[in-house]
Amino acid sequence: MNKSILVLGTRGIPELLGGVESHCQSLYPLLVEKYGLDITVTARKPYVSYNESVYKGVKLKALPALTHKSLEAPVHSFLAALYAIKTSADIVHIHAIGPGLVTPLLRLFGKKVVFTHHSQNYDHQKWGKLAKFILRLGEKFAMTFASEVIVISDFMQDLMREKYDRDDCHLIFNGVNPPQLPERDKIDEYLSKHGLQEKDYIVAVGRFSQEKGLDVLLDAYKRSGINKKLVLVGDNDHPTDYSEALKADARNTEGVVLTGFLSGDELQSIFSQADTFVLPSFSEGLPIALLEAMSFSLPVIVSDIPANKAVHLPDSCYFPCGDSQRLAEMLRALVGQQPVSYDEYLKRYDWDLIAQQTYQVYRLAAGQKQCSPIR
């Protein structure tokens, strides 16, 4: 397929925390390697150090962005759409519903648009009325006007069929890479940096925003009285009342470790030596952090929201969303378990398969049917 593809909707790659960012970092180099595609990923200047760069064959282009939580994604997406029009990209791949606002503009200029619906972001507690209106409008525009739509869970596929009568959504899961650990001495160095020891801590990974439910986990940890540390990996892109209050509470709680944003070997090391992984979210798409924890065979405790239930873990892994008392009981009961094999679960979250499925969608968007990978 001799088409150029421009990607918008991500803060940038590589090594930026976020589900969409992790998704793009894993997917696009594979599409370049296996299918020889010409792919440019647009990034937001406040988050990356480059203007133009290349990552594993993927072209990177940083464009201006406002550092305003409600307007950042829409404004940057508008600039990225103009860049796509200017550079004559054949297919534009939009990630997330906020950037979906520009779908009609791109279609007006004759672009084929592939849209990936990651999450119903308007359900996130951090957004005000204006932001929620923009996000709902972005979802509507993308679902109405996109040439092809990808959803990342069967739950989302059913919901989009019900809301928009769109029966042609392609179900393509998020993926997870096999663990790639550094040498043991490097792992020990990272653990020492944060005052940790092997299997003496539980870990949660995510942005410090309300929908991630980390305040629920912190409350549950204080209730539990367990003899393990709690490691919170992450922060927020912009300080908020919630993120600052969460960090202040964490600093005043014995046994809690704040690492800030981590990536690469350091994040892999912290994952690999944890006792248990907890995901207390109120809203998710298909959580890559959960898949990563499963790839390390960590016992997991997750909230019972539809996106997490879509992973189809045993019922014993789920707690009622927002219920810190029940989460505390599960922490007391479940920490110290043996590693768990998730091999059967992880088969459908293979990035090679996901790249193949995404390439097929590009072929459909371009009006082509047959495909064969470049060997």
User: Selecting from 3.30.300.30, 3.90.1150.10, 3.30.420.40, 3.40.50.2000, what CATH number does the domain 184-346 have?
Assistant: 3.40.50.2000
Rounded to an integer, what distance in angstroms lies between the CA atom of residue 205 and that of residue 212? 9
Mean pLDDT of the chain: 92
pLDDT single digits (tens) 122-162: 665 666 788 788 889 999 999 999 999 999 988 889 999 99
**pTM value surpassing 0.95:** no
Rounded to an integer, what distance in angstroms lies between the CA atom of residue 56 and that of residue 17? 18
Residue with tokens 């890559």: 288
> Residue 35: which H helix or E strand, with range?
helix 19-35
Residue 19: band (very low, low, confident or very high) from pLDDT cuts 50, 70, 90: confident
pLDDT single digits (tens) 98-121: 899 999 999 999 999 999 999 876
Q: Give the closest residue to 27 by CA, choosing from 82, 95, 85.
A: 95
pLDDT at 40: 97
Hey, what amino acid is at 67? T
pLDDT single digits (tens) 318-332: 999 999 999 999 999
Average pLDDT (259-269) is 93
Q: Looking at per-residue confidence, does 78 or 18 come out higher?
A: 78
Rounded to an integer, what distance in angstroms lies between the CA atom of residue 313 and that of residue 300? 9
**DSSP label of 347:** G
Hey, what amino acid is at 352? D
Average pLDDT (12-21) is 88
> Which superfamily is assigned to 4-175+350-365 in CATH?
Glycogen Phosphorylase B; (3.40.50.2000)
> Residue 25: which H helix or E strand, with range?
helix 19-35
* Alpha-carbon distance values, 81 to 32, 94, 235, 264, 356 (Å): 22, 10, 29, 30, 26
Concatenate the DSSP letters of all residues of 154-221 into one string. HHHHHHHHHHH--TT-EE-----PPP----HHHHHHHHHHTT--TTSEEEEES-SSGGG-HHHHHHHH
Concatenate the DSSP letters of all residues of 206-264 into one string. S-SSGGG-HHHHHHHHHHH--SSEEEEE---SS--HHHHHHHHHHHTSTTEEEEES--H
**Residue 320 near residue 304, CB atoms below 8 Å:** yes
Percent of the chain whose pLDDT exceeds 90: 75
**Rg for the chain (alpha carbons), in Å?**
20
pLDDT single digits (tens) 46-94: 899 999 999 999 999 999 887 766 677 788 999 999 999 999 899 999 9
Average pLDDT (263-287) is 92
Which residues of the chain form CATH 3.40.50.2000?
4-175+350-365, 184-346
pLDDT at 70: 63
pLDDT single digits (tens) 177-232: 888 899 999 999 999 999 999 999 999 999 899 999 999 999 999 999 999 999 99
pLDDT single digits (tens) 331-371: 999 999 999 999 988 988 999 999 999 999 999 999 976 54
pLDDT at 131: 78
pLDDT at 127: 66
Rounded to an integer, what distance in angstroms lies between the CA atom of residue 275 and that of residue 110? 52
